[in-house]
Structure 1
Amino acid sequence: MKKLLFFLLLLVSLPASAEVVNIDNAGLEKLIAQGVPVIDIRRPEEWQQTGIVKGSHLITFFDKRGNYNAQAWLDKLAPIAGKNDPFVLICRTGNRSGVVSRFLDQKLGYTKVYNVQKGITDWIAKGKSVVKPGN
């Protein structure tokens, strides 16, 4: 948790950037229809609990304690999307994906990051379909 807190404090001190676009469910549906990859950064037990947006790439960023290995995560992201390719990040409520989106944009120079602002919980609450991981 201390590492997550440090990471969040680091991001708060960064200048604002216009490159991360927060999207709602309609925005997510539009991007999916355009073939933009969706990256679900939650943990495996969360994927199992709620299901996932069909076609999502499952790459956990933070573990249960808030620890992360940014380089290992980036290595898994690289075959899916590069720094100038559009992609969507989603988590449970949009908090973690928001943090990671800003990190990718402001610290690493990714140019087309979309963050699902209210996460998978709003997607499900609005009756949108999910599938079990691996389906």
Structure 2
Amino acid sequence: MKKTFLSLLLLSASLLATVTNENPSQQLVDSSIPIVDIRTPGEWKETGLLKRSIPIMLFDEKGNYDLKVFLEKLNKAVDTKKTFAIICRTGSRTKVLADFLSRKMNYDVINLTNGISYAKYVRLPILPYK
């Protein structure tokens, strides 16, 4: 009985988390939803950051990552009990990360498809990284 209840509880919790896929927009920039940029410092310097973005690197320049360190920084910077958005260069890295954060961490995540490339294309406010 306890195992069944625990299984149902875990299943229902995992069904509550969502991933929303959307392009970066002015509406999102103007909202209070945090935007986490998971690119590398080199990428941030090259293209800048979408206004209000919080830079927290996931993969380094060699493709290595430390998920524990990333999650610690994420949880310090963002209230993960509320919806937040993630952005990378083209949306490839965030697609994988959004699915993981939703399924394994039970976070509600907005995956910004097409990434900073799209944000620059539609001329959203981009600020230099310092």
- Range into which the TM-score falls when normalised by the shorter chain: 0.7 to 0.9
* Alpha-carbon distance between aligned partners in 1 of 2:22 and 2:48, rounded to the nearest angstrom: 20
Q: Show the counterpart of 1:51.
A: 48
Q: Is the 8 A contact 1:54 1:131 kept in 2?
A: yes
Using the aligned pairs only, state the percent identity: 35
Q: Show the counterpart of 1:21.
A: 20
* Alpha-carbon distance between aligned partners in 2 of 1:126 and 1:30, rounded to the nearest angstrom: 13
Aligned residues: 116
- Runs (5+) with no aligned partner, structure 2: 1-15
Q: TM-score, normalised by structure 1?
A: 0.78
Q: Does 2:76 correspond to 1:79?
A: yes
- Runs (5+) with no aligned partner, structure 1: 1-16
Q: Show the counterpart of 1:63.
A: 60
Q: Show the counterpart of 1:132.
A: 128
Q: Which has the larger radius of gyration?
A: 2
Moved over 4 A (4+): none
What value does the CA root-mean-square deviation take over the aligned residues?
1.9
Q: TM-score, normalised by structure 2?
A: 0.81
Amino acid at match of 1:47: W
In proportion to residue count, which structure has more strand?
2
* Alpha-carbon distance between aligned partners in 2 of 1:99 and 1:36, rounded to the nearest angstrom: 20
Question: Secondary structure at the residue paired with 2:86?
Answer: strand
